[in-house]
Amino acid sequence: MHPLRKQRVYAIVTVFLGIVIAMVLVMSALSKNMNLFYSPSELLNSEISPGSIIRAGGMVASGSIEKSSDSLEVMFLITDFQNSLPVVYNGILPDLFSEDAGVVVKGFLQEDGTFFAQEVLAKHDENYMPPEVAKMLDKVE
């Protein structure tokens, strides 16, 4: 084969293989690490198998934060002003976590209907509303 043509074949085959392998990798990594977002009302009506990792968000209901006095356990309600979802978290809350502020939690539903949060996200700006929560509240209104 002409060297130039041979070289072109190498290049094309390599690129093709690279892309196929990458696509397989992307798809498998994605299918395991997609976390769907739910509002409290959506969670109430949906059938999510307990244990699968999801995200939920809403406003922290005023007066709902209960802190344990001898451990890091915290319980609070997040609400979309129609329904609310009890959340349990074991750890240090972010600085911007507070009542009547938007919050997104990542974790799973437990058998008793409470949400066990592995992560609580409140962002780094006092005016900031998580986009998911903002969109959700728009829908409710």
Partner 1 sequence: MIPEIGHVLLIGALAVTFIGGCLPFYEFVSKKDYSQSYVKLFSILTVFLVTGSFICLIYSFLVDDFSVAYVATNSNTLLPDYYKFAATWGAHEGSLVLWILCLSLWLVGYMFSKNNVNDSFSSITFAVMNQVIFAFILFTLFTSNPFERLLPFSPLEGGDLNPSLQDFAFTIHPPLLYLGYSGLALPFSLAIAAMITKNIDSLWASNSRPWSLLSCAFLTLGIGLGSWWAYYELGWGGWWFWDPVENAAFVPWLISIALFHSLIVTERRGVFKNWSLLLSILSFGASLLGTFLVRSGVLTSVHAFALDPERGLFILGIFTYFIFGALLIYSLKNTKTQSESTYSLTSIEFGFLLNNLLLVVLAISIMFGTVFPLLYEAYTNGDQVSVGPPYFNILILPFAIGLGFLQGIGLFLGWSDTKDFSFLNRLVIEAMTVLIVINIVLYFLFGSFNTGSLVACLLFAWIVSGNILDVVINKRSVSKIKSFLSFRLGAIFAHLGIAFLVLGIGVVSSYSSEKELLLSVGESYDLDGYVFEFENMNVKRGPNYIADVAILKIRENTKTISLSSEKRNYLSANQETTEAGIVADLFKDYYVALGENLQGDTWSFRLQVKPFVRWIWFGALLVAIGTFISSIKLLRKKA
How far from each other are the two terminal CA atoms of the chain, in whole angstroms? 69
Q: What residue type is assigned to position 70 of the chain?
A: D
Tell me the closest approach of the beta carbon of residue 126 to partner 1, in angstroms: 5
Alpha carbon distance 130, 11 (integer Å): 45
Cβ 110 to partner 1 shortest distance, Å: 20
Nearer to partner 1, 4 or 112 (CB): 4
Host H or E run for residue 78 = strand 73-79
Enumerate binding residues for partner 1 (CB under 8 A).
Answer: 3-4, 7, 10-11, 14-15, 18-19, 22, 25-26, 28-30, 32-37, 53, 55, 67, 69-72, 91-93, 95-96, 104, 106, 123-126, 128, 130-132, 134-135, 139
Residue tagged 């969109």 (tokens):
135
